[in-house]
């Protein structure tokens, strides 16, 4: 059996959901917010960094770069730096929050990360990926859900928390 993109995507969702449960609400929430920030930074600054890297590589002739690679690197570095910074700042976990919300945050973070990475792909590569993976096409088709879903869960959790505390 040859591993497929579908298998990778399913495993990524499962791993991020379980990882979210293990980390706890506070930390997985930070990762989710950092993913939003990473997406915006990579989308908005990716072209600038790519142009700068092209100029640097034309001087040294030592590296081969692509816009996708640069955006992916900026995305990953942004998430990593912000997550490490928030961990060092001592982000506390709220033990009273339901594991269901925590798992949901992990699942939505996985979807947001995957749809972000897919959006960085050039159109031809994206079409090729979609031809090889129905799940990748669905993840990308639901990109607005990945963007809005976490906000909806936060709002629902906040309202439910207020109702049940009284």
- Going from the C-alpha of 99 to that of each of 8, 17, 36, 77, 106, the distances in angstroms are 24, 10, 22, 28, 10
Other Cβ atoms within 10 Å of 27 Cβ, number: 20
Alpha-carbon distance of 29 to 106, in angstroms, equals: 8
Residue 30, φ and ψ in degrees, nearest 5: -60, -45
Print pLDDT tens along the chain (166 aa): 457 889 999 999 999 999 888 888 788 888 888 899 999 999 999 889 898 888 877 766 666 788 999 999 999 999 998 888 765 444 454 544 577 778 888 899 999 999 999 999 999 999 999 999 999 999 999 999 998 888 887 777 777 777 776 5
End-to-end CA distance of the chain: 54
């Amino acid at each position: 059996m040859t591993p497929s993109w579908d298998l990778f995507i399913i495993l990524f969702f499962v791993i991020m959901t379980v990882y979210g449960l293990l980390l706890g609400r506070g930390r997985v929430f930070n990762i989710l917010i950092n993913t939003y920030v990473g997406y915006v930074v990579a989308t908005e600054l990716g072209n600038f960094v790519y142009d700068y890297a092209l100029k640097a590589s034309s001087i040294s002739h030592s590296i081969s770069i692509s816009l996708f690679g640069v955006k992916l690197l900026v995305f990953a570095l942004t998430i990593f730096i912000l997550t490490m910074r928030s961990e060092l700042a001592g982000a506390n976990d709220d033990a009273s929050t339901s594991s269901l919300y925590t798992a949901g945050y992990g699942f939505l973070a996985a979807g947001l990360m995957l749809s972000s990475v897919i959006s960085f792909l050039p159109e031809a590569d994206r079409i090729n990926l979609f031809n090889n993976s129905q799940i990748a096409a669905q993840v990308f088709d639901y990109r607005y859900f990945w963007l809005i879903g976490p906000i909806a869960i936060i709002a629902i959790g906040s309202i439910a928390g207020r109702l049940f505390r009284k």
